[in-house]
Amino acid sequence: MLAMLQFANRFSLPVITSAADSLIIPLHSILDRLDLSKLFPAEQPLEVELGCGDASFLVAYAGCHPRRNFIGVERLLGRLQKLDRKGRRVGLANTRGVRIESSYFLQYLLPPHSVTALHIYFPDPWPKLKHHRHRLINESFPSLARLALLPGGIVYLRTDDLDYFTQMNDAFSAAAFFERIETPARLAEISTDFERDFNSQGIPTLRAAYALID
Ligand SMILES: C[S@@+](CC[C@H](N)C(=O)[O-])C[C@H]1O[C@@H](n2cnc3c(N)ncnc32)[C@H](O)[C@@H]1O
């Protein structure tokens, strides 16, 4: 591999690495939807985490569910590289990460109705009123989630921010095609990096889950 890289660098050739070399999905085009059948060794139910950060949750959760596939979406390269390192260290074959903006990913890159669950944990709260428009979970988000999900698919939400939690619940309550359900205890017990930080400061996790009903 090293010799191949040195050879390619010397002659400015593109280096094509196989999926096994990296868990990061190379986006050759942001105009074409992903071909999910080529991403994973086995075709299995797919779950997506939006804003997966350092991927502690995703790596732990994917390790518990080898018969499901997972994609972590993250806009920061350094954090995505942690997903890659952690995932490969534990030999995860069912997990990939992609560097892209979450809404764009749902709208343009993910094949419609391909996902059984969306996980969105501690999305940036944008606490100032004038910045609320940057929040990922807004009144348009339930329709985006519906586009991504298969029938009966579920959106799992966590945050530390009460104002954002209220906005999340208002958005999903206004969408007649979702109903609120309980978060399974076995899912709730797998914490995220930010969750551990907040909880250690005495800040509790606010959780909600919504299932697609039509
Ligand atoms: C507060 S951190 C939470 C990370 C992780 N979910 C956790 O709970 O530990 C939010 C993460 O979402 C990423 N992020 C924020 N907005 C995003 C967007 N629109 N698309 C993709 N990633 C985003 C940030 O880079 C950051 O890593």
Q: How far is the CA of 120 from the centre of ligand 1 (A)?
A: 9
Structure tokens at 126: 């944008």
Residue 83, SS3 per DSSP: helix
pLDDT of residue 1: 37
How far, in Å, CA of 156 to CA of 69, rounded?
16
Q: Which residues lie below 8 Å from residue 97, measured CB to CB, with a gap of 6+?
A: 23, 24, 25, 52, 55, 71, 72, 73, 74, 80, 83, 84, 87
Domain regions of the chain by residue span: 44-212
Q: Which residues are catalytic?
A: 124
For residue 19, give the amino acid letter.
A
- List residues bridging with 180 in a β-sheet: 210
Q: 34-90 pLDDT, tens per residue?
A: 999 999 999 999 999 999 999 999 999 999 999 999 999 999 999 999 999 999 999
Cα–Cα distances in angstroms (integers) from residue 60 to residues 26, 182, 191, in the given order = 23, 21, 9
2 pLDDT more than 50: no
Q: 98-134 pLDDT, tens per residue?
A: 999 999 999 999 999 999 999 999 999 999 999 999 9
- As a whole number, mean pLDDT of residues 185-202 equals 98
pLDDT grade, residue 17 (50/70/90)?
very low
Q: Which residues lie below 8 Å from residue 85, measured CB to CB, with a gap of 6+?
A: none
Structure tokens at 143: 């329709």
- As a whole number, mean pLDDT of residues 148-158 equals 98
- Ligand 1 is surrounded, with C-beta below 6 A, by 51-53, 73-76, 79, 101-102, 121-124, 136, 192-195
Nearest to 187 by CA among 55, 101, 39, 58: 58
**Protein residue with its CA nearest to atom 14 in ligand 1:** 51
Q: How far is the CA of 112 from the centre of ligand 1 (A)?
A: 22
Q: How far is the CA of 76 from the centre of ligand 1 (A)?
A: 8
Determine the CATH number of domain 44-212: 3.40.50.150
**Protein residue with its CA nearest to atom 23 in ligand 1:** 51
pLDDT of residue 214: 72
pLDDT grade, residue 21 (50/70/90)?
confident
How far, in Å, CA of 46 to CA of 70, rounded?
6
**Protein residue with its CA nearest to atom 11 in ligand 1:** 51
